[in-house]
Amino acid sequence: MLKGGLIGCGFFAHNHLHAWQEIDGVTITALCDRDEARLKQAGERFGVSRLYTDAAQMIARETLDFVDIATTVKTHRPLVELAASAGLPVICQKPFAENLIDARAMVDTCERAGVTLMVHENFRWQAPLRAVRALLDIGRIGEVFWGRVSFRSAYDVFSGQPYLATSDRFIIEDLGIHMLDIARFLFGDVSHLSAATRTVNPRIRGEDVATMLMVHESGVNSICDCSYATSLQEELFPQTLLEIDGSRGTIRLSANYELTIHSEGVTEKHMVTPVLHDWASRPWHNIQESVYNIQQHWVACLASQRAPETSGRDNLKTMALVAAAYQSAADNLASVDVKAV
Ligand code: NAD
Ligand code: 89Y
């Protein structure tokens, strides 16, 4: 049985903890949060009695097989380095880092220490997106030449995550990062990117609308667009919609998980509705299912000593897209060579 220690018992960590409880072969034996009330509440709710307000103490006193970091971005580097210095495999929530310097340093530290590092980049683990990837893999629409990854909403994310309203950077770093990672997952790595951003909501500090145009190394052209200022007749949070065009047809992932495959003149429709885990709650169940999936992947990777799909090194490429998007938006939509970021 793998024993994990979780650091950061806030808003999102409860999803990690529910998922760990459901996954075979793993148990969370210790929790850490510098906020004692949150720590105690999580301990009681998930039946964990080994509680710490200091991560270094938890790591020194507990016998752990891995550490799961679910804090916000500013603490990621010191906590990842702490785990690596103790020789422990480590999961780190997204956004992995505030900048590429910290991200690269964390990857180097973990590689030097010989510890596995996975970024908890879970959106690509959503079942509907996996279904689309499987269709591309079997060539259902031929050679893909164009794609769109879209997330448009007016859902109030600020009540659960108040820090999102006050950070200098908002939607690209918080949500666009998932869209960019999905674009990489579906269409491959990116050579050039241009982006434009807007701040529409006057009550927040960072940008809440972003449009990114990418040229992939595969030749695919794609658009990632995201907004938290878009009030639709039907609120679709937190659904990612897809449009993909290929030489033999098209794939559309539309509202409420309707998948349309049009190939060689024949149209098929399927529902790819996410599983509702018994601890999950709508509309978050799509994300919650992906948390379960990525954490199950982590356990399988540790068992087989495989690198996780979203290893720290892999995530540097998603982080480079985030950096390129901010760079381009600041430079009037300039085309950014992603390898040079
Ligand atoms: P939060 O502020 O609610 O919780 C973070 C917790 O970490 C707090 O309780 C805080 O006291 C604790 N903490 C911070 N630094 C610490 C330290 N050094 N030692 C011990 N405890 C510490 O934040 P949240 O909304 O839960 O977000 C956490 C992370 O999860 C963010 O990076 C966010 O982007 C990410 N997130 C991911 C998804 C997803 O789908 N992958 C969804 C929402 C949030
Ligand atoms: O923090 C974000 C994430 O990762 O998924 C959705 C979210 O909770 C708000 O944008």
Q: What is the pLDDT of residues 290-333, one digit of tens each?
A: 999 999 999 999 999 999 999 999 999 999 999 999 999 999 99
Q: Is the peptide bond before 162 cis (omega within 30 degrees of 0)?
A: no
Q: 146 falls in which pLDDT band (50, 70, 90)?
A: very high
End-to-end CA distance of the chain: 41
Q: Pick from 55, 87, 115: which residue ends a domain?
A: 115
Structure confidence by residue, pLDDT tens digits, 60-109: 999 999 999 999 999 999 999 999 999 999 999 999 999 999 999 999 99
Q: For the chain, what is the domain count?
A: 2
CA angle 22, 23, 28 (to 5 degrees): 85
Q: E strands along the chain, which residues?
A: 2-7, 26-32, 50-52, 66-69, 90-93, 117-120, 144-152, 190-198, 209-216, 221-227, 241-246, 249-254, 258-263, 266-271, 336-337
Residue 158 lies in a domain: yes
Verify that 25 and 142 share a domain, yes or no: no
- ipTM score assigned to the predicted complex: 0.99
Report if residue 326 sits inside a domain.
yes
Task: Please return the burial class of 105, using the count of CB atoms within 10 Å of its CB with bins 0-12, 13-18 and 19+.
Answer: middle
Mutate to test the pocket of ligand 1, among 72, 126, 177, 292 (most ligand atoms within 8 A of CB): 72
Token duo for residue 124: 């690509």
Q: What is the average pLDDT across 233-251?
A: 98
Q: Tell me if 259 sits within 8 A of 251, measured CB to CB.
A: yes
**Pocket of ligand 1, candidates 93, 174, 240, 310: which has the most ligand atoms within 8 Å of its Cβ, to mutate?**
93
Question: Distance between CA 321 and CA 326 in Å, rounded?
Answer: 9
Reading the block at residue 199, the tokens are: 């701040």
Q: What are phi and psi of 48, to 5 degrees?
A: -110, 125
Token pair belonging to 238: 């937190």
* The one-letter amino acid at 186: L
Q: Are residues 234 and 92 part of one domain? A: no
- Same structural domain for residues 237 and 176? yes
One domain for residues 227 and 109: no
Domain closes at, from 115, 140, 165: 115
Residue 189 is encoded by which pair of tokens? 């790595």
Same domain flag for 195 and 132: yes
Residue 290 in any domain: the answer is no
Which tokens sit at 79?
A: 């906590």
Q: For residue 169, what pLDDT is reported?
A: 98
Question: At residue 206, what is the residue type?
Answer: G
- Domain end among 59, 91, 115: 115
Q: How much is the pLDDT for 185?
A: 99
- 238 and 97 within one domain: no
Q: Is 242 left (phi over 0), alpha (psi -120 to 50) or beta?
A: beta
The confidence score (pLDDT) of residue 192 equals 98
Going by C-alpha positions, the residue among 51, 49, 46 that lies closest to residue 18 is 46
Domain extent for 328: 124-279+317-340
- For residue 212, the one-letter residue type is M
Q: Looking at the structure, tell me whether residues 131 and 219 fall in a common domain.
A: yes
Q: Is 309 domain-assigned? A: no
Q: Is the CB of 287 under 6 A from ligand 1?
A: yes
Cβ of 190 closer than 6 Å to ligand 2, yes or no, is no
Give 168-222 pLDDT, tens digit per residue. 999 999 999 999 999 999 999 999 999 999 999 999 999 999 999 999 999 999 9
d(CA 110, CA 123): 24
Q: Which atom of ligand 2 is nearest to the CA of 178?
A: 4
What CA–CA distance (Å, rounded) separates 144 from 221?
A: 9
Question: The domain spanning residue 64 has which CATH number?
Answer: 3.40.50.720
pLDDT (0 to 100) of residue 323? 98
Assign 142 a pLDDT band (cuts: 50, 70, 90).
very high
DSSP 253: E
| 8 Å CB contact between 324 and 316 | no
Residues 326 and 192 placed together within one structural domain of the fold: yes
In a domain, 306, yes or no: no
Task: Write the CATH number for 171.
Answer: 3.30.360.10
- Local confidence band at 165 (pLDDT 50, 70, 90 cut-offs): very high
Which residue's CA is the closest to the ligand 2 atom numbered 7?
175
Model confidence at 266, pLDDT cuts 50, 70, 90, reads very high
Left if phi > 0, otherwise alpha if psi is -120 to 50, otherwise beta: which for 88? beta
Q: Which ligand is nearest to the CA of 95?
A: 1
Q: State whether the beta carbon of 208 lies less than 6 angstroms from ligand 2.
A: no
Tell me: do 102 and 141 sit in the same domain.
no
Q: How far is CA 299 from the centre of its chain?
A: 18
Ligand 1, atom 18: closest residue by C-alpha: 75
Residue 120 Cβ < 6 Å to ligand 1 = yes
Assess if residue 201 is contained within a domain: yes
Residue 294, domain member (yes or no): no
